[in-house]
Chain A
Amino acid sequence: MSSQKIINLWKRMDWLFVANLVALVLVGVLFIYSASSRQDDAQLTAMTQRQILWALVGFTLFFGAVGLDYRKVNRGAFVFYLATIALLVLVLLVGRKISGATRWLSLFGILIQPSEFAKLGTILMLAHYLSEPGRDLTHPRTLLIALLVLAVPTALILEQPDLGTAMTLVPVVFTMLFVAGVPFRYLAILCVLGLLALVPGWFTLDDYQRERLLVFFDPGRDPLGAGWNSIQSSIAVGSGGLFGKGYLMGTQNILGFLPRTVAPTDFIFSVIAEETGFIGSMVLLILFALLAGSGLRASLASRDKLGRLLAVGVVTLLFSHAFVNIAMTVGLMPITGLPLPLVSYGGSFMLCTMAGLGLVQSVYVRRFRR
């Protein structure tokens, strides 16, 4: 890539999008510090430092992805998809088991979560498949193959088991099919089939998953066990009130009512909402709204269908993460263990998110060559 080309790409970047992204990462670092503040200093700085490191690697990945032409990426989509599938299989074979679930691979001492990369792989693969010239979207076979692309990683992730992650792929694929132009009647049938699948699905769930769902409908069912996080998180968010208790002053977190294992990760929003109140949670929601909005703007601006589908896929993935994560911390959804994109502590998802958002910008900066 010539330097002139880089300057052109640089000029066409959506800087609102980038500012948004930086803002969310900063919020994340600040409140990971707060969430781990009751731990001893070494661990406190360690977690925050690691997150900063991940963010820096993430930004590198982001700008790298912006530089890559997404159509070149598209050529490798199938291989990338297969690679993530292979990693998922590897997880099941040699993965690290942590608290009952086998989700991690140890790579040079770093734990990575292949299911995060599988999300990206599925989006790439599906965008690739649906945008191929001459693809007849009205043909049932197209739908079946698209569903197969979804089903393989979903089944492997469910096997870990990781219901939450598996379920986030469903709306992503559904939305991509919708935007791609699969006829409404097929989508309607998919919905009906999906609802019907809930019944046998219930019986294939593990006990703890079933318990989490039951607890969602009745948090008092097991207030000290499965319902604990849900109740304590609602208390944290609610007691924040309008203005919150102030940075580093979140009682629920300091006193350990929010378990410290999840406060910097899945329940980072509870910490933010308790310390910054309704105002702070609104700011966060607006940041996510702007991120989704500018992501979809990239989709609208894309000069081809591949770009549109890639952007829609990535935006939907991050949006559903953000929505489900916030909804679960305030008792609107069952506890599923999904991170809040860019904010929650965690490397794999940070990298996956940054790479995905980089792809979205890659689409945006190449919008004029129609």
Chain B
Amino acid sequence: MARGNPWDDEFLRIRLLMGIMLLMLIGLGGWLWHIQITRGPSLAEDQNRQSMRRVRLPGVRGRLYDREGKLVADNQPSYTISIYLEELRQPGSWDRTIERVEALLGDIEHIIGVPSILTRQDIRNHIRRRLPLPLTAWRDLDANAIARFSEQAGQISGVDIQPESMRVYPFHKLAGQTIGYVGRADIQQDEEEPFHFYLPEVSGRSGLEKTLDSYLRGEAGGRLLRVDVTGYRRYDFKQREPKPGRDVMLTLDMRVQALAEKVLGNDAGACVVIDPQNGDVLALASNPGFDPNDFIPGISPARWKELNDDPRKPMVNRAVAGGYAPGSTFKPVTALAGLESGRCRADDVYSCPGYFTLGKVTFRCWFHPGHGALTLQQAIERSCNVYFFHMGLTMGQDRLAEMARRMGLGAKTGVELDAEVAGLVPDDAWKRREVRDAWRDGDTCNVSIGQGALVTTPLQMAMLTSVVANGGRLYRPRLLRGVRESEDDEFVLQPPELLREMNWAPANIDLVRQGMRDVIGGSRGTARRVALPGIAIAGKTGTAEFGRKEERKRHAWMIAFAPFEAPRYAVALLVDEGISGGETAAPRVRELLQGLLMPADGAEGHG
């Protein structure tokens, strides 16, 4: 071994080896710093991503009350039995776990005597898509089954009873279309963070449930689950409690609603009752209807088909979505328009020979012998067509249409129902656009008596009745009376919404109101049978022809308000196919008003 080269020294080489090893360990330490300190947070985040699952928890929906505080839409616990798969997992293939679950389902079936809703495929799908969540095996169980289960549940592990909130409509068919129903909400992808497992809440699908959804809807909470590598839930990590929705008090009075539906009986039609002093809709009835409970939790295909195929259209809320010619119930509008325009006067007298000739066309009065010479007030009382033909032609269609619109026709009232239609107040521009023909005097005659192309909804007619009843204040008809934040709070009532003041000359509105009072109270009124002892009622009947003439189909109308001096109720009632307003609608209005103003049990009506 040659001397001189220092590396010939064995000891030096061992020391060099020591140095190299030390350097390697320092390098490794540096790398560990990089991984654990520099990249630590991002790797911890990676870990959370792979082991955390976000589950959305739906918030409980707010309830609906009527104005008296009766529950109209409630949540009731419905019991479900859920299986916790992580407690049943079997080593080896999934099939063994599935078999274990199936065996367990069989045992529970034996105990509670109700077959499970699950198929093997359901279990498989659950394992594939929603493994960390409990598997719902029975829904909507009754108390007996739950009792039987509870007695023996101690022996079974991996199974639990969970209450789920289910919508219930205690009044069943009453106001069914108006209240509407709920269904499983669509998954909203715009929420801030995507959820791995989305337990949707219900959302309003129709009626008030739909339009008031923003109040009723709860705020979803969330739960963070830790899952293991196979996807089973290990433990709950964090939870944000869901927030329940707000309770809503409606303007509806279910007692009035029940009366309104009772007087409609089995006939297709609608009935709306409004408080003329504030626009509160006390009843909004449409017949035939449906029981919204049928839609909870989901409607059966057979029932759905039945509802949609029914020629009487129970799904349509006639009170707001039904467009009808108002017939003679429109005459107060004609009268007010004529008087307010200054073109007509209350003491104008026209003679009715039973018909009216306009060029080559002859319009008939409904009373073929003719009413003879009449003043306006008498014309309203007896509903003389000829008088109103004269009036319409005297003032012209534009003035008539303007008054009709000012009183709320031809536009949506803005009630909280999105099924509402606007109706139609026709004019020259409309006719040129739609029919490609000019407006003629004959059209004016038709509209003057509420016929022709004029289309109104029962709610619009009730709103119109209100504005006549209260002397000229047009309120937006409303169904939402108040909202409360939680069960511990009071309802915060919303003020009525005055749309416009009519500023009618007092003499004019007084005359029309007197005319309407005579309809019931006068010696020759068309609705004398409505009269109730001791209570002054005003109203107007209407019989609107529709369909082909030879079919002689008629809508039977009546609008009314009472008591005359200080009206508390404004009513519009329509029967789809009736004989006439006086014969078909008037008795029902009488029954309704009697129920409202003279309750048999002595209880006072609302207000």
Interface, chain A (partner B; CB < 8 A): 175, 178-181, 184, 234-242, 251-252, 254-257, 273, 277-278, 281-282, 285, 288-289, 292-293, 296, 299-300, 305, 308, 312, 316, 319, 323, 326-327, 330-332
Contacts and interface: CB of A to CB of B under 8 A. Distances in A.
A308 B7 CA distance: 16
Q: Which 7 pairs across A and B sit closest by C-beta, in order of nearness?
A: A238-B43, A256-B229, A239-B44, A255-B228, A278-B36, A241-B40, A239-B47
Contacts of B1: 181
A234 B35 contact: yes
15 contacts: A179-B10, A238-B35, A238-B42, A239-B46, A241-B37, A255-B226, A255-B229, A256-B229, A257-B51, A257-B229, A292-B18, A292-B21, A300-B15, A308-B10, A319-B24
A281 B32 contact: yes
B8 interface: yes
Contacts of A323: 24-25, 28
Contact of A327 (B21, B28, B41, B234): B28
A251 B47 contact: yes
A281 B31 CA distance: 11
A300 B17 contact: no
B3 to A, nearest CB: 13
Contacts, number: 122
Nearest to A305: B10
A282 B36 CA distance: 11
Contact of A238 (B13, B40, B226): B40
A312 B17 contact: yes
B22 interface: yes
B44 A330 contact: no
Contact of B50 (A257, A282, A316): A257
Interface of A: prevailing SS: helix
B39 interface: yes
A251 B51 contact: yes
A308 B14 contact: yes
Contact of A330 (B24, B31, B42, B47): B31
B11 to A, nearest CB: 6
Nearest to A137: B1
B94 interface: no
Contact of A278 (B33, B43, B47): B33
A312 B15 CA distance: 11
Contacts of B46: 235, 238-239
A330 B10 contact: no
B372 interface: no
A88 B22 CA distance: 33
Contacts of A332: 28, 31
A312 B21 CA distance: 12
Of B22, B46, B229, most A-chain CB atoms within 10 Å: B229
Contacts of A300: 11, 14-15
Contacts of A312: 14, 17
Nearest to A258: B229
B14 A255 contact: no
Given A175-B17, A242-B37, A330 B32 contact: yes
B43 A296 contact: no
Nearest to B11: A300
A104 B414 CA distance: 84
Nearest to B39: A238
A242 B33 CA distance: 9
Nearest to B38: A238
Contact of A181 (B8, B21, B22, B42): B8
A326 B40 contact: no
B227 interface: yes
A238 B31 CA distance: 11
A255 B47 CA distance: 10
